[in-house]
Amino acid sequence: MKSDQVKKGVETTPQRSLFKAMGYIDEELEQPLIGVVNSFNEIVPGHIHLNTITKAVKEGVRMGGGTPIEFPSIAVCDGIAMGHSGMKYSLASRELIADSIEVMATAHALDALVLIPNCDKIIPGMLMAAARLNIPAVVVSGGAMLTGKAFGQKDQDLNTAFEAVGAFNAGKINEAGLKSFEDSVCPGCGSCSGMFTANSMNCLTEVLGMGLPGNGTIPAVFAERIRLAKKAGIQVMELLKRDIKPRDILTEANFKNALTCDMAMGGSTNSILHLPAIANEAGVIIDLQEVNEISAKTPHLCKLAPSGDHHIEDLYYAGGIQGMMKTLADGNLIDDTLLTVTGKTIADNLVGVTVKNPNVIHPLDNPYSKTGGLAVLFGNMAPDGCVVKQAAVAPEMLTHEGPARVYNSEEDATTAIRGGKIKKGDVIVIRYEGPKGGPGMREMLFPTSAIAGMGLDKDVALITDGRFSGATRGASIGHVSPEAAAGGVIGLIEEGDRISIDIPGRSIKLNVSDEVLAKRKAAWIPLEPKIKTGYLARYGKLVTSASTGAVFEK
C-alpha cells in the first residue's frame, strides 16, 4: 500500500506516533488509508449538508475495510459570487482545488480517495486531481436542490430570482413580488435545480464512470443520497483491491461518451471548459471541432431549465442519467463497453434500466432536435472557437446580424442594459473578461438575466471572451478565443461594427475587412491588467485559453 510509506517498519515510528496523537489505533493503521475530501462550508447551499454525506462515506469506507481520513476542500458559490469581483475567483478556484488535493494526498501517502463535491468548479477540480494522482477514487456529489415556487407558478430556481431583478427593473413586478421570489425559489440545500453547470458536471461525472449510478440526479435531501454515499465508501475499497485507477476509466472513449451525453441533455456551456481540463490531466486531448462533430449526430433528448421547464428532480423520476444513457446506448450512440467505478461496464450498469417518463427523456425517434444542445462557432472573431448553448436560444435568434455595442467590462454592459441603452437587434460585446483579461473568466449571469428579464432575449445577442452561467438562456456566446487580453480579434471590435451569427452554420463573423483589422491590430494597446497582486495576478500569468479548458501552462 502507498500508505506503508508512513506507517510500516521501524523507520516510520515517528509518523505512527503522530497518528497515535490523533487517536488512531494499530488496527486502523493496518488498514488502507482512504482520503475523504469534504468540501463542506457554511456559505454554499450546495455544500451546507456535505458533513452528512461525508459521515455516510466514512461509514462505507469502514464497512469496506478501510480507515477514512477526512480533509477539506474550498468551494465557491457562483450565485453569491456573481456580479462583483468575487466571481473572478470562481474558475480560478478549480486549479486551487486540484492542487490542494494533490498536496494532501501525496504528502500523507493516501491509498485512495472519495471526493465529495457538489457545485460548479469543485466537481471538475476534484476530477482533475483524481486523474492527476491516479490512485483509486470515487466521486459522490451532494445532489440537486428541489425546485421552489412563487405565486403558485411552475417550478422555479435560482435563475428565476436573477430574471426577477430584470423584471423589477423593467417595472413588470413590484417589491413585494421580488421578495416572494427571493424567499421561495431556493427551498433548501443542494446544487441549484436546473441543468446548470453544477448539475451538468455531476451528471457528466456519472457518464464518465467516476460516480456511481444516480450520482447526477438523486436530490440532495433524499435518503437515497446518503445510501449512495455509503456505497461509494464501500466501492472505493473494491477499486483499491482490484487496482482500478481513474486513468483506467477516464479514457478518450469515455470523454466522447461525456460529450455525447452533454449534447443529449443540453448541458452548460461550462462543460466545454471543464471536460478538456479533466481530459488534460488524464492525458487526453479534446479538440473543439470534435464537439460539433458529436453534436451533429447526437439528438437533443432532455430539455431542462434554463432551456426547458423540467428540472433535475424530473430527470431523476424519469430514470436519471442512466435512463438517458440507456436510450443512447440502444441507438449505438455511446460506447457501453467502458469500465466504471462500479467495477463493471456501462452495459452492465444499464441492465434493467428503463425510461419512466418519455416527456422528460425523449426517445431517439422524437428528440427536441436532431442535433445536440451545445455548439462551437468559428470565424474571424473566434478562430479558436466560441461556445453557445443552442438549446436555450430562441429560433429567431439562431441567425442574427446586428451592430456591436462594445464594453470592456461586465459592469459597464450591465449598467447599459439596465439603463435602457440596448436596442432590439444589437450585439452586445463584453471583452477583457477572459481567463487572462478578467482575470478569472467570470460568469455573466447579471447581464444575461437582465436581458431576459427585460424581454430582450429574443432580440439581442451577447458575445464575450468571458463565460456564462449554466442558468443563462438566449443568444449568449462565450469563450471567444483568443481573448482580448491575448490579442484576439474581439479586442479590435469598434462600436457599430456589424457582427453576423449563424449558429446552425457554426459560424461567427466580424464584418470588417482583413486590411482594416490589420491596421487596428497594429495600433492596438492592451488594457492594463485589472488585478496586479495576489492569486489572481499569478493565475492571469499562468492560465491558457478557454479553447484549451483554461488550464495552466505546462
Write 5-13 long-range contacts (CB < 8 A, 24+).
5/109, 6/33, 6/108, 6/109, 7/33
Q: Give the number of other Cβ atoms within 10 Å of residue 527's Cβ.
A: 13
3-state class (DSSP) for residue 135: coil
- Sheet order of strands, 67-72 included: 67-72, 33-38, 112-116, 137-139
Cα–Cα dist 396/531, whole Å: 39
Beta partners for residue 375, in sequence order = 388
Q: Sort strands 507-510 and 461-464 into parallel, antiparallel or unpaired.
A: unpaired
Residue whose C-alpha is closest to residue 145's, from 57, 65, 250, 44: 44
Give the H/E segment covering residue 34.
strand 33-38
Q: ∠ CA 272-274-275 to the nearest 5 degrees? A: 70
- 356 appears as a binding residue in the annotation: no
Selected catalytic residue, list 73, 193, 268, 469: 469
Residue whose C-alpha is closest to residue 480's, from 495, 471, 468: 468
Beta-strand (E) ranges in 327-420? Answer: 375-379, 382-388, 399-407
- 443 appears as a binding residue in the annotation: yes
Beta-strand (E) ranges in 117-217? Answer: 137-139
Cα–Cα dist 348/28, whole Å: 34
- 293 appears as a binding residue in the annotation: no
**469 in catalytic set:** yes
Beta-strand (E) ranges in 67-183? Answer: 67-72, 112-116, 137-139
Q: Give the number of other Cβ atoms within 10 Å of residue 331's Cβ.
A: 13
- 424 appears as a binding residue in the annotation: no
State the binding site.
78, 120-121, 443
Q: Which residues are catalytic?
A: 469
Question: Residues annotated in the binding site for Mg(2+), as ranges?
Answer: 78, 120-121, 443
